[in-house]
């Protein structure tokens, strides 16, 4: 099993972090929407937010680990992309990191600006690092706005991946789905092994 990235493919760890975070973020968005419909008498009124906060803390930890893993690993060659595609790809990927960091930080502040710590599944507590009464509404708005922004960016990301797969017939999606022992498959009309 190929753990690290190569010039041709993403390794297992990068693919696992990518898909694991993607699925969890979509689930957290759905959970967040559902939580808003709960009333005080629902048995999930307190439990659902506790789960949301706990998973959010783990996601923040994984985001940081993924960032450092990306810096420590080779990035598969994207020379087959057009210059503007390569530029947009880099902007979107770094945009995801920035949006997720601000989004998760806002989520953390919603629960801690009143001085309370976040209990992560009852295993450990994440303390409040900044206290300011009344800030919950502002960071709550930021958290909600960025949730929808992330979903919109994710939709564009998925659309681009499908376009690369079905229209351009290149390896962009395939090498994030599974490792291949062969060299990168060029786009139509391109000489094999010679990225344009």
> Does residue 54 contact residue 107 with C-beta atoms inside 8 Å?
no
Average pLDDT across the chain, whole number: 90
Inform me whether the pLDDT recorded for 182 exceeds 80.
no
d(CA 27, CA 24): 5
Among 60, 67, 56, 69, CA closest to 12:
69
Inform me whether the pLDDT recorded for 193 exceeds 60.
no
Domain spanning 12-177, CATH class: mainly alpha
pLDDT in tens, 109-125: 999 999 999 999 999 99
SS3 124: strand
Extract the tokens encoding 30. 């759905």
- Confidence band (pLDDT; 50, 70, 90) for 157? very high
- Confidence band (pLDDT; 50, 70, 90) for 191? very low
d(CA 107, CA 143): 6
Extract the tokens encoding 100. 């997720």
For residues 165-177, give the mean pLDDT.
Answer: 92
Lowest mean pLDDT among 24-38, 50-64, 71-85: 71-85
| Between residues 1 and 144, the one the model is more confident about | 144
Among 51, 66, 175, CA closest to 118:
51
Q: Look-up: residue for tokens 């985001």?
A: 63
Residue ranges of the domains in the chain?
12-177
For residues 158-182, give the mean pLDDT.
Answer: 87
């Amino acid at each position: 099993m190929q753990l690290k990235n190569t010039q041709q493919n993403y390794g297992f760890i990068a693919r696992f972090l990518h898909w694991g975070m993607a699925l969890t973020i979509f689930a957290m968005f759905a959970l967040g929407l559902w939580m808003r419909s709960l009333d005080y008498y629902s048995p999930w009124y307190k439990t659902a937010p506790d789960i949301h906060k706990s998973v959010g803390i783990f996601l923040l930890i994984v985001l940081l680990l993924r960032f450092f893993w990306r810096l420590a690993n080779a990035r598969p060659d994207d020379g087959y992309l057009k210059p503007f595609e390569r530029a947009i790809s880099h902007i979107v990927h770094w945009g995801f990191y920035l949006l997720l960091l601000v989004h998760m930080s806002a989520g953390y502040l919603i629960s801690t600006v009143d001085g309370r710590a976040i209990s992560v599944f009852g295993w450990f507590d994440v303390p409040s690092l900044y206290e300011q009464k009344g800030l919950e509404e502002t960071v709550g708005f930021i958290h909600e706005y960025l949730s929808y922004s992330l979903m919109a960016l994710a939709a564009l990301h998925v659309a681009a991946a499908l376009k690369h797969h079905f229209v351009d017939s290149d390896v962009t999606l395939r090498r994030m789905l599974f490792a291949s022992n062969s060299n990168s498959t060029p786009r139509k009309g391109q000489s094999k092994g010679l990225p344009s």
